[in-house]
Amino acid sequence: MSERLASPQGDSLRVGHRLALGWEIITSGLAELWSHKIRSALTLTLLMLGVFALVVLTSVLDGVIDKVSTGFEGMSWDGTLVLVQKSPETSAERSRFAMSSGLRMEDVSRLTAPHDRVMNFVPRGTRRVSARMASGSERAFAIGVTPDYFPAMNRRIALGRGLTEDDQRRRSPVAVLGSSLASKLLGGADPVGRDIFVEGMPFHVVGVLAPLMIFSEDTWMDANGILVPLEAFMDRLETDHVLAQLGVKLKNVRDMKEVSALMLNRARQAHHGIEDVEVVDLDADKARNYRNFMEQMHSWRIVIANLAGTVLLVGGVGILSVMLISLSDRRYEIGLRKSMGATDQEIFAQFLLEAVVLAVLGALGGSLAGGVVCKLLSDQFPYGLMLNPMGLLAAWAVALALAVVFGLYPAFRAMRMSPMEAMR
């Protein structure tokens, strides 16, 4: 007898019996769900929402991080320093700075003398102005720049053209509009070829900037600004010839310290020994902004995990209630199965696997819905939007773990029920 049980045929019979039992458990679980559609739908909806939220939001966060990182890399800040007017910190500095005219257009020729370690110089003037077109008016920024500003600071042209050396030489009243300002004034219509009135003075629109990712005050001003030749800006809009800043693009970032000292020395000589100009390292500024951004993303990950976990926990409570109701409705079935030879372990496995079937269906529905949403949003991100594998794995793991935890109590109650008690 023992030899027959230990034979390959006996092993195959036991395996076949377990497979048949497992299939019966799955089908009976699905039948139970189908027989209580509203109750099952509510439970599955909570599980689906939890999995959906965790999958989609973690994937979107990955996409946002990719998009923002791409934007930071494309800002052309590596190896760029900026000279700006220094604010006086003491009364003595205030008195000394008053003897200097500050950073002005007249300094450009001396400050931008060629240097073998500098790729190009990018002077910039800014002023808040009133801009008007036939379609409406807006408060905006007039920004005076040279043609080198566009390639140096990665400002791409979406429509028309950028500023040219001929515009600079002729001091032409032409303008390139920021994408946000163009949208506000014209609502998507092409402004190229039209005139825009800046403080009542006409400028001919020759181009529109491509949309910018806003990481700094400069990018926000450019997106909402009117970029005009620096000379025309000084002649028509900034008669005091005040420069907002002078950008210096280096050939090698390792020369940052040396070129910073060079530019400060040039500014000191131009201002007769008065040190009223300071250097801002845009590369360090970018690193600080990026670090702050990543800290915010980490905080959002915690918020998303808590939100999805709460929804999944409520779904787990739903599984508990469904299984308890199922236990109450199927007492006779449990007693009948036990009286026909079903073991406590088989009854326990039946109820526990039914809870797992619920979790699998909910997780599957949430994953499929999340995949569809990610597909629809894919075009909005530079590298597409793929499902976050860790988010997907975490969602499934939490859903299945909750199913096991909340399914244990009903399974234990079913297992410990005597046939006579169950069939009474």
Does residue 195 fall inside a structural domain? yes
**Look-up: residue for tokens 């008007």?**
132
pLDDT reported for residue 35: 65
Among 275, 309, 328, identify where a domain stops.
Answer: 275
Q: What is the pLDDT of residues 87-139, one digit of tens each?
A: 887 888 788 888 888 888 988 888 888 888 888 899 999 999 999 998 888 99
Residues 262 and 310 in one domain: no
Does residue 3 fall inside a structural domain? no
Residues 129 and 199 in one domain: yes
**Pick from 77, 76, 82: which is nearest to 264 by CA?**
82
CA distance 126 to 227: 9
DSSP annotation string for 18-42: HHHHHHHHHHHHHHHHHHTHHHHHH
User: The whole model's pTM is what?
Assistant: 0.58
Does residue 4 fall inside a structural domain? no
Residues 61 and 121 in one domain: no
140: which 2 tokens? 């905006």
CA distance 323 to 354: 8
Residues 143 and 226 in one domain: yes
Asked whether the beta carbons of 121 and 247 are under 8 A apart, the reply is yes
Domain with 402 in it: 21-71+289-423
Does residue 8 fall inside a structural domain? no
Length of the chain: 424
Residues 330 and 182 in one domain: no
Does residue 42 fall inside a structural domain? yes
Does residue 328 fall inside a structural domain? yes
Phi and psi of 383, rounded to 5°?
-115, 25
Does residue 282 fall inside a structural domain? no
Asked whether the beta carbons of 297 and 61 are under 8 A apart, the reply is yes
Residues 36 and 133 in one domain: no
**Pick from 75, 47, 93: which is nearest to 278 by CA?**
93
Q: What is the pLDDT along the chain (424 residues), one digit of tens a residue?
A: 444 445 555 555 566 666 766 676 667 666 666 666 676 677 777 778 878 888 888 888 877 777 666 655 544 556 778 888 888 878 887 888 888 888 889 888 888 888 888 888 999 999 999 999 988 889 999 999 999 899 888 889 999 999 999 999 999 999 999 999 999 988 878 899 999 999 999 999 999 999 877 767 788 899 999 999 999 999 999 988 999 999 888 888 788 888 889 888 998 888 888 888 888 766 666 666 767 777 777 788 787 778 777 777 777 777 777 777 777 776 777 777 777 776 777 777 777 877 788 788 888 888 888 888 888 887 776 666 777 788 788 888 888 888 888 878 877 777 777 766 656 6
Asked whether the beta carbons of 362 and 46 are under 8 A apart, the reply is yes
DSSP annotation string for 144-204: EE-TTHHHHTT--EEEE----HHHHHHT--EEEE-HHHHHHHHTT---TT-EEEETTEEEE
Residues 182 and 264 in one domain: yes
Residues 112 and 63 in one domain: no
Does residue 409 fall inside a structural domain? yes
Residues 149 and 227 in one domain: yes
Residues 236 and 359 in one domain: no
Residues 320 and 245 in one domain: no
CA 405 from centroid of its chain's CA atoms = 34
Among 225, 245, 275, identify where a domain stops.
Answer: 275
Residues 209 and 318 in one domain: no
pLDDT reported for residue 1: 44
Among 275, 298, 319, identify where a domain stops.
Answer: 275
pLDDT reported for residue 343: 72
Q: Based on the structure, what is the number of domains in the chain?
A: 2
